[in-house]
Amino acid sequence: MEKLNQQLDFILEIDKLKHVYRQSLVKSDNNRFENSAEHSWHISLTAQILHEHAVEPVNISRVTSMLLIHDIVEIDAGDMFAFSNEKALVEQEEKELAAANRIFSLLPESQHQTFKQLWLEFEQSETSDARFAKAIDCILPLLQNMRNEGGSWVNHKVRKSQVIKRNKHLEGLAPKLWLYVCKQIEHAVQQGWLIDE
């Protein structure tokens, strides 16, 4: 039963991700802030729907697992807005690594290593699976903001160049998605949802 108890401790610990709030707004729920648990669900399923657009083949099962766990570290480290300054983002990386060490170590040893490696692979973004997972993690907030009159972009006065930089890796990974994103960014600028610089 020891192994099962470790697994159940992990399962109950990650309940806390439902209490980590992001800058994204949930249009369908009176524009409240989105939490990282429901965001993780949404991007996992988004990856399942869109993976055919990846130029390099991806293992969608691994991508899904990555996306299910990618934000768990925020239980300790909190969420960091994607367009925060560089210094804050570097500090966040250190906090997240410490969080990964603590939270995944709740699991039995073999699962601890498997899930931590998968999380590191996502963070390092060097494999085709991780690059695609990261791209999906970037594109979904864009889709949400476009359906919500700019959403978190407007609240944080985000610039067009920041959104292009954040999504540009799509150009090589999934050209059809990149084309779509470019059109959306232009439309957002025209609407005044992104600053034109």
Q: Find the largest Cα–Cα distance for the chain.
A: 60
80 interacts with a second copy by CB under 8 A: no
Give the nearer residue to a second copy in terms of CB position, either 48 or 159: 48
Binding to a second copy (CB under 8 A) within 139-178 occurs at 140, 143-144, 147, 176-177
Contact 196, 160 (CB under 8 A): yes
Instruction: Give, for 34, the enclosing helix (H) or strand (E).
Output: strand 32-35
Structure tokens at 92: 């966040």
Which of 24, 110, 28 has its CA nearest to residue 71? 24
Give the nearer residue to a second copy in terms of CB position, either 127 or 159: 127
Structure tokens at 167: 């999504």
| Part of the chain binding a second copy (CB under 8 A), chosen from 15-23, 121-129, 150-158, 162-170 | 15-23
Q: What angle do CA 47, 111, 116 make, to 5 degrees?
A: 60
189 interacts with a second copy by CB under 8 A: no
How many whole angstroms separate alpha carbon 93 and alpha carbon 123?
9
98 interacts with a second copy by CB under 8 A: no
| Part of the chain binding a second copy (CB under 8 A), chosen from 29-37, 80-88, 154-162, 186-194 | 29-37
Which of 148, 133, 157 has its CA nearest to residue 184? 148
Out of 92, 111, 127, 162, the residue judged to bind a second copy by CB under 8 A? 111
| Part of the chain binding a second copy (CB under 8 A), chosen from 30-38, 92-100, 127-135, 155-163 | 30-38
Structure tokens at 44: 């996992």
Residues that bind a second copy (CB under 8 A): 1, 4, 7-8, 10-12, 14-19, 26-29, 34-35, 37-38, 40-42, 44-46, 48-50, 53, 60-61, 64-65, 68-69, 107, 111, 140, 143-144, 147, 176-177, 180
